[in-house]
Amino acid sequence: MASLQQIIDDFEFLDDWEDRYRYVIELGRTLEFMPDADKTDANKVQGCVSQVWLTCKVNASGPQDPELTFTGDSDAHIVRGLVAIMLAACSGKKASEILAFDEAALFSRLGLIEHLTPQRANGLRSLVARIKSEAKASLERSAVS
């Protein structure tokens, strides 16, 4: 899977939005395989028109700030690509970094929101909210431990 910086660089290289859409779809094809057993209601991201699933694995990287690894999938090609972009931005990061991540700046830099349908933009925001919710919950759990 491409790094977030590679994705940003590639977006800046592509002038045409048709080419960018193709690239987003291609990014979706690079997602790590998600087993059907993980495609449960509990892992489903609410607020998405397409079906989107997200799993989170907590890796204790320190006593108070765990590292989170995400796996995601969708039944829609473009949405799979959006999931791939968010995983590149957040997976493997500490919970505090995820909570501090400025997704609006990323979406603006990539020009995503203005080129997505309102439903896809809302779904993307729902995905980000779910990722940040997982980060917040892991921080709260580590504070109690």
Band of residue 63 on the pLDDT scale cut at 50, 70, 90: low
* CATH code for the structural domain at 4-144: 3.90.1010.10
Specify the pLDDT at position 111: 87
Residue 136 gets the label, from left (phi > 0), alpha (psi -120 to 50) or beta, of: alpha
- Distance, CA of 112 to CA of 71 (rounded, Å): 21
Average pLDDT over residues 35-62: 91
User: Of 45, 48, 112, 116, which is the active-site residue?
Assistant: 48
2-17 pLDDT, tens digit each:
899 999 999 999 989 9
Q: In terms of residues, how long is the chain?
A: 145
Q: What are the extents of the domains in the chain?
A: 4-144
- For 94-114, write each residue's pLDDT tens digit: 999 999 999 999 999 998 888
48 is catalytic: yes
